[in-house]
């Protein structure tokens, strides 16, 4: 038996998994369901939840907690954690997630066409911060909130790879 806490898109699922013959008995937030899980070639599996069929593929890297699960072609990103461990983390006030991402990274490889802000500048939500050209199209990178620019990591004419730091906010 194992007990997990799965988070996705603001939702939490309390999931208990037990082996039950060839199948699994899965209790999701108190509701018990019978699940059959058959792997086929490569990363694909067929999962029957109380006989409802789903084509599944799961991309994970061992014990790392984030997963990209594809259900019938629809991608769902989620975090899975041992339930007790998740409780311990919560108790310990783990605040990793809040600390993160006051940075804008390049969403694609390309060429920086324009940088429209500088350090210390206040930007409004929706304001264009810089313009990147990729695949022959100009892409405006906009701010998603009202913030103050701490550091501009790139300059006009520079080539960037996907994931390169562009701008940091305060």
Partner 1 sequence: MSKPIKKILIANRGEIAVRIIRACKELGITSVAVFSSADRSACHVAMADEAYFIGEAPSAESYLVQNKIIETAKQCNADAIHPGYGFLAENAGFARLCNNEKIIFIGPKAETIELLGDKIQARKKAIEAGLPVLPGEEIDVSNASEALAKAKSIGFPVLIKAIAGGGGKGMRVADSAENFNESLIRASSEAKSAFGDGRVFIEKFLENPRHIEFQILCDAHGQAVHLGERECSIQRRHQKLIEESPSPVMTPELRKNMGEAALKIARASNYIGAGTVEFMVDSDMSFYFLEVNTRLQVEHPVTEMVTAIDLVKEQIAIAENKTLSFSQDDISCSGHAIECRISAEDPRQGFVPSTGTIQDYRMPSGPGVRLDSGVESGSEISVYYDPLFAKLIVWGKDRSEAISRMKRALEEFRISGLKTTIGFHRIVMENENFVSGNFSTKFIETEYPNYEFETADDKTIETAAIAAAIDRFKNESRINLQNGKSSRASISSWSLYHRQRNMKKFTGSR
Residues 42-81 that bind partner 1 (CB under 8 A): 42-49, 51-67, 69-76, 78, 80
> Which residue, 66 or 119, has its beta carbon nearer to partner 1?
66
- Give the span between the Cα atoms of 155 and 116, in whole angstroms: 10
Residues 13-32 that bind partner 1 (CB under 8 A): 13, 15, 17, 19, 24, 26, 28
Minimum distance, C-beta of residue 151 to partner 1, in the bound complex (Å) = 20
Tell me which of 30, 95, 98, 100 binds partner 1, using CB under 8 A: 100
Region of residue 157 (phi > 0: left; psi between -120 and 50: alpha; otherwise: beta): left
- Note whether 104 binds partner 1 by CB under 8 A: no
- From residue 115, alpha-carbon distances to 121, 151, 154, 164 in Å are 12, 12, 8, 15
Minimum distance, C-beta of residue 119 to partner 1, in the bound complex (Å) = 23
Is 77 in contact with 10 (CB distance < 8 Å)? no
Q: How many CB atoms lie within 10 A of CB 7?
A: 17
Minimum distance, C-beta of residue 62 to partner 1, in the bound complex (Å) = 7
Measuring CA to CA, which residue among 168, 122, 124 is closest to residue 146? Answer: 124
Q: Site for partner 1 (CB under 8 A): how many residues?
A: 76
> Which residue, 78 or 154, has its beta carbon nearer to partner 1?
78
- Note whether 2 binds partner 1 by CB under 8 A: yes
- Note whether 115 binds partner 1 by CB under 8 A: no
Of the CA atoms within 13 Å of residue 139, those in its CB half-sphere come to 14
- Note whether 169 binds partner 1 by CB under 8 A: no
> Which residue, 16 or 153, has its beta carbon nearer to partner 1?
16
User: Any idea which residue has 């103050």 for tokens?
Assistant: 148
Residues 119-158 that bind partner 1 (CB under 8 A): 133-139
- Give the span between the Cα atoms of 108 and 162, in whole angstroms: 4
């Amino acid at each position: 038996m194992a007990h997990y806490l799965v988070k996705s898109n603001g939702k939490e699922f309390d999931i208990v998994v037990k082996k039950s013959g060839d199948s699994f008995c899965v209790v999701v937030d108190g509701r018990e369901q019978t699940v059959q899980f058959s792997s086929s070639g490569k990363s694909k599996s067929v999962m029957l939840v109380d006989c409802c069929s789903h084509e599944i593929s799961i991309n994970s890297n061992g014990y790392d907690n984030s997963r990209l699960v594809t259900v019938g072609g629809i991608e769902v990103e989620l975090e899975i954690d041992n339930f007790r461990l998740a409780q311990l983390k919560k108790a310990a006030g783990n605040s990793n997630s809040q600390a993160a991402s006051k940075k804008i990274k390049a969403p694609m490889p390309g060429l920086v066409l324009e940088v429209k802000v500088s350090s210390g500048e206040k930007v409004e939500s929706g304001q264009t911060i810089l313009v990147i050209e990729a695949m022959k199209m100009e892409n405006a990178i906009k701010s998603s909130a009202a913030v103050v620019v701490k550091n501009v990591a790139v300059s006009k004419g520079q080539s960037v790879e996907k994931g390169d730091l562009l701008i940091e906010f305060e």
